[in-house]
Amino acid sequence: MSNSVYDTYVSPLSTRYASTEMKFNFSDKKKFTTWRSLWTLLAQAEQELGLNITDQQLKELNDNVDNVDFAAAAEEEKLTRHDIMAHVHTYAACCPTAGPIIHLGATSCDIGDNADLIVLRDALDILLPKLAGCVKTLGEFADEHKHLATLGFTHLQPAQLTTVGKRACLWLQDLILCEKNISRIRADLKFRGIKGTTGTQASFLQLFNGDYEKVRELDIRVTRLAGFPDSYSVTGQTYPRIVDAEVVSSLSILGAVVHKMCTDLRLLAGMNEIGEPFEPTQIGSSAMAYKQNPMRSERVCSIARYLMNLVNNPLSTASVQWLERTLDDSANRRLCLSEAFLAADSIVLTLQNILEGLCVFPKVISRNIEKVLPFMATENIIIAMVKVGGDRQVCHEKIRVLSLEAASTVRLDGKDNDLLDRIVKDPYFAPILDQLSHLLDPSTFVGCAPDQVNHFLKEEVQPVVNKYISKIKTTATKLDI
């Protein structure tokens, strides 16, 4: 049988969609070197607090953090059926002097769970600037098109006009809420700390001969060496699994937000008002050569739908952790946590690419407005007639009758909306005919939309962009597939 990489299943999230940095963050190399880093930090803190650990042992541990024999570790795990102990053994094999003090006093979750929290923290730090990049690019789009009138829709039926920029701010509002939610979770994320088998720190109390203050100090030192300001005050064997549910929930909400936005873009693409990037060599259909499908937005919706449904896994896992812990969380977490972040990473990466290449077609937008603007202008016409002495109720009835006649022409005969022609021909409206061009100016129908965009960009968008400005990369985001 061939050993080709094409002979085995791999996740499309890792081969087609997610970024290199997010894939590395959930790689075996990141995980196992993080384990080794934690063993080194634990030994360092134990030495500082008086345990018999030498500088030579610490140097040996530190020098071999990246010297992982993955094949040997895999063989060890087959024998031991225990991933942490397999890596204790392979780490000890390349650290003969330090081998006896690796994992001293610790339980598996002192290493595995803390490493998972480091990975989650780093994943959030990868994702948040990308989300802010989408906010920045969409904010620039909103500013550019804040005056461009477009049909608003309620129930997918033409409603009052809005502007292209104002509509973009609706998407931005949701993205900003996502950033606030995810960044809060990032800020609240704690280290499990060095808590021992059931969270009582009993083994460490023995190591330090009953000195509880040294046990507390060990927890604090390792926590801070690992880059966390604080650890969870109490745990069972694991950190609270509800934390996973909270993290994945925030990503699922992001999935829902981006799904809604890209669905809107797909609808607008169907109306030919907005188009996503389309490469010169891109093929829209194998049969219909003219097609320019919104395939990037469709991809985002597809992956976002998957992400939105992942949240049930950590919720269920958190709900069935018996007493201090059970191991039925392990396999599920291996799948769910990585997939959630890879999916979230891929949708913001694709969204950034879409936003950088969005095309707006003002003439199509104008033509679509013209089809229904006469109906929308009726209230303005009634008000204008009243101002020149007309009776509001009489005017309303005349407009109602003419509107129904025009609607019938559109729906039954397939002709253009001729309501204005009917108004012009009716002597009743003669006093305001010279005002019709102004009454039908689309810019007079958008209300405060441009000003709302200005205010929103200043008060809501710019602060988010400023938080991540040194980390945002938005120029020419390229998708390989």
Give the tens place of pLDDT for each residue, 375-395.
888 888 899 999 999 999 999
Coil/strand/helix, residue 173: helix
137-176 residue pLDDT tens:
999 999 999 999 999 999 998 888 999 999 999 999 999 9
pLDDT at 282: 54
* Residue with the larger pLDDT of the pair 394 and 373: 394
Identify whether 155 is a catalytic site residue: yes
Quickly state the pLDDT bin for 360 (edges 50, 70, 90).
Answer: very high
Please report, as a single letter, which amino acid is at residue 139.
G
290 has a pLDDT exceeding 50: no
- Residue 15: its pLDDT value, please? 85
For 74-91, what is the mean pLDDT?
A: 90
Nearest CA among 3, 13, 11 for reference residue 304: 13
Structure tokens at 144: 């550019």
Whole-number pLDDT of residue 281:
53
Q: How confident is the model at residue 288 (pLDDT cuts 50, 70, 90)?
A: very low
Is the pLDDT at 289 greater than 50? The verdict is no
**One of 2, 4, 155, 437 is an active-site residue; which one?**
155
Distance CA 160, CA 153 (A): 7
pLDDT above 80 (res 481): no
* Strands (DSSP E) found in 29-172: 149-154, 157-163
**Confidence (pLDDT) at 293:** 78
Provide the residue count of the chain: 481
pLDDT above 70 covers what percent of the chain? 95
pLDDT tens profile 423-462: 899 999 999 998 888 888 888 889 999 999 999 999 999 9
Considering the candidates 14, 103, 147, 285, report the single residue annotated as catalytic: 285
- 150 backbone φψ class: left, alpha, beta (φ>0; ψ -120 to 50): beta
| Percent of the chain predicted with pLDDT > 90 | 73
Indicate if 285 belongs to the active site.
Answer: yes
Residue 473: per-residue pLDDT: 80
Tokens describing residue 426 = 């009716």
- Other Cβ atoms within 10 Å of 44 Cβ, number: 19
Please provide the average confidence, as pLDDT, over all residues in the chain. Answer: 91
Answer yes or no: are the C-beta atoms of 300 and 259 closer than 8 Å: yes
Contacts of 353 (CB under 8 A, 6+ apart): 277, 296, 477, 478, 479
Backbone Cα Rg of the chain: 31
Q: Is-contact 263 305, C-beta < 8 A?
A: no
Q: What is the pLDDT of residues 89-99, one digit of tens each?
A: 999 999 999 99
Question: pTM of the prediction?
Answer: 0.90
Q: Are strands 149-154 and 157-163 parallel, antiparallel or unpaired?
A: antiparallel
Integer Cα distance of 96 and 174 in angstroms: 54
Cβ(370)–Cβ(410) below 8 Å: no
Query: Does the pLDDT value for residue 283 go beyond 80?
Result: no
Single out the residue of 151, 116, 95 nearest to residue 34, CA to CA: 116
Residue 475 reports pLDDT greater than 80? no
CB atoms within 10 A of CB 12: 13
- At 312, is the pLDDT very low, low, confident or very high (cuts 50, 70, 90)? very high
Contacts of 469 (CB under 8 A, 6+ apart): none
Q: Give tens-digit pLDDT for 2-32.
A: 567 788 888 888 888 899 999 999 999 999 9
For residue 60, the model assigns a pLDDT of 96
pLDDT attached to residue 158: 84
